[in-house]
């Protein structure tokens, strides 16, 4: 089977890597891919724009592609699944209507409210003065969200009124383009965050193992939000009872609500959750695709061939598959360019990746490029170093021992990924 993966980040490298572990997958094409996918055996990068849906469809037909797997949210929001339907090629990823789950936070919040899904109270604003007045009346801490897609950087958890007012001003001043011209303002919820990525074929929905992401750039969860600086799976303190509650109170009602809107959703429902001090799971946000870097951690432990799961989703046969997992834990730490998530330089050579991988880790590439047979930096989040262990602490130790082997100018990473969970377990 030949499979086409759309995207260029660490998530797409992990998807290609995982798909190629299956005996039934002969070739993976990544469009456009990155330096890591360029060096995978039986994987080839394709220089076609993610937005050129007609060219993608023609390429898929010419290469006898059995499945298209869409990694990022932007092509889904722009309707890639709808555009590829005339080519009669199965696509793993929701239609444009389903992608509203991530593309519009207001649309998603309305769906949750109508379905009785537990979430933070919120109001939507299209006027800066009205938004500021609401913030003044509610006080801080409070959460400001750009309504549309902002590459994981459109959310501000404002601990002070000044932070909140500034975030609203930035959004309406064009910091996020059209995505920020509508703003969702939410109550601030306390608790531990968990990412639950679930697969659905439109009829059945099944969660993968829970993961925990680390969004802020700084140690101790400080500083601005990023696309994600590290993750691990499964989350040790998320019990089977809690996961059952997530399925019953959140995942199944979400699928039912989509069905009631006439949306045939085949892809990932990514529930970003917060577990409140009383133990109640509430939805912070939904995404319509695999998370990054959660995917790197989760897929590293997947025992069931990934292609079987994704094909089952496109063929509405997910109910027939029992998802199997390897034992133990997986941890992932992101190496970023200095200055990220602000401005940063790129084009620096990356040295000694082989030395790191000789230490029982897999280095997934994100912002990298293969140029003149050398791997160079080409983005903010550059690499995702991922390792496993029989215990949570062992998985983290494996990753952190391997990271110093990798060298590139301005390399930055957090040294405290997993610390929250270690404190929960050991204190």
Is the pLDDT reported for residue 118 higher than 90? yes
What is the average pLDDT across 298-322? 98
What is the residue-averaged pLDDT of the chain?
A: 95
What pLDDT score does 424 carry? 55
Mean pLDDT of 136-159: 89
> 38-68, pLDDT tens digit by residue?
999 999 999 999 999 999 999 999 999 999 9
Residue 14 sits at the vertex; the CA angle it makes with 32 and 216, to the nearest 5 degrees, is: 95
Q: How large a percentage of the chain has pLDDT more than 90?
A: 94
Choice between 422 and 287, residue whose per-residue pLDDT is larger: 287
Residue 75: how many CA atoms within 13 Å on its side-chain side?
28
Positive or negative: CA dihedral 393, 395, 401, 404: negative
pLDDT surpasses 80 at 423: no
pLDDT at residue 142 tops 90: yes
How confident is the model over 370-414, as pLDDT tens digits?
999 999 999 999 999 999 999 999 999 999 999 999 999 999 999
Is the per-residue pLDDT at 224 higher than 90? Answer: no
Q: Compute the residue count for the chain.
A: 427
Q: Quick one: which of 65, 81, 79, 55 has its CA closest to 19?
A: 65
Are 41 and 20 in contact by the 8 Å Cβ rule? The answer is yes
For residue 373, give both structure tokens. 């047979």
Q: Give CA 14 to chain center in angstroms.
A: 12
3-state secondary structure of 70: strand
Of 25-34, 178-187, 243-252, where does mean pLDDT reach its minimum? Answer: 178-187
Binned at pLDDT 50, 70 and 90, residue 426 comes out as very low
- 67-116 pLDDT per residue, tens: 999 999 999 999 999 999 999 999 999 999 999 999 999 999 999 999 99
Domains along the chain? 2-95 (3.40.50.20), 121-187 (3.30.1490.20), 192-320 (3.30.470.20), 329-426 (3.90.600.10)
């Amino acid at each position: 089977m030949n499979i086409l993966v759309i995207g260029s980040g660490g998530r797409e490298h992990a998807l290609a890597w995982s798909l190629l572990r299956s005996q039934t997958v002969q070739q993976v094409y990544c469009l456009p891919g990155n330096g890591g996918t360029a060096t995978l055996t039986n994987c080839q990068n394709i220089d076609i724009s993610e937005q050129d849906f007609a060219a993608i469809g023609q390429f898929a037909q010419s290469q006898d592609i059995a499945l298209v797997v869409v990694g990022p949210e932007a092509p889904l929001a722009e309707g890639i699944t709808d555009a590829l339907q005339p080519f009669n090629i199965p696509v793993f990823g929701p239609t444009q209507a389903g992608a509203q789950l991530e593309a519009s936070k207001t649309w998603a919040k309305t769906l949750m409210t109508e379905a009785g899904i537990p979430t933070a109270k919120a109001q939507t604003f299209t006027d800066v003065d009205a938004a500021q007045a609401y913030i003044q009346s509610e006080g801080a801490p409070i959460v400001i969200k750009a309504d549309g897609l902002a590459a994981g950087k459109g959310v501000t958890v404002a601990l002070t009124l000044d932070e909140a007012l500034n975030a609203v001003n930035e959004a309406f001043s064009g910091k996020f383009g059209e995505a920020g011209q509508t703003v969702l303002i939410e109550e601030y919820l306390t608790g531990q965050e968990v990412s639950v990525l679930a697969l659905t074929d439109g009829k059945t929905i099944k969660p993968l193992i829970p993961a925990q992401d680390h969004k802020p750039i700084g140690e101790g969860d400080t500083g601005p939000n990023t696309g994600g600086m590290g993750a691990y799976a499964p989350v040790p303190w998320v019990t089977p009872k809690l996961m059952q509650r997530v399925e019953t109170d959140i995942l199944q009602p979400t699928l039912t609500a989509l069905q009631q809107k006439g949306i045939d959703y085949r892809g990932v429902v990514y529930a970003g959750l917060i577990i409140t001090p009383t133990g109640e799971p509430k939805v912070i946000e939904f995404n319509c695709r695999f998370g990054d870097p959660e995917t790197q951690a989760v897929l590293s432990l997947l025992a069931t061939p990934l292609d079987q799961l994704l094909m089952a989703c496109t063929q509405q046969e997910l109910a027939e598959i029992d998802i199997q997992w390897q034992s133990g834990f997986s941890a992932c730490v992101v190496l970023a360019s200095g200055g990220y998530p602000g401005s940063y330089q790129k084009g620096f050579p990356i040295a000694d990746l082989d030395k790191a991988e000789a230490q029982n880790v897999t280095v997934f590439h994100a912002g990298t490029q293969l140029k003149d047979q050398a791997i160079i930096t080409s983005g903010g989040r550059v690499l995702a170093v991922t390792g496993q262990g029989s215990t949570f602490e062992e998985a983290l130790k494996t990753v952190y021992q391997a990271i110093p082997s990798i060298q590139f100018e301005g390399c930055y990473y957090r040294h405290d990924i997993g610390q929250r969970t270690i404190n929960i377990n050991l204190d």
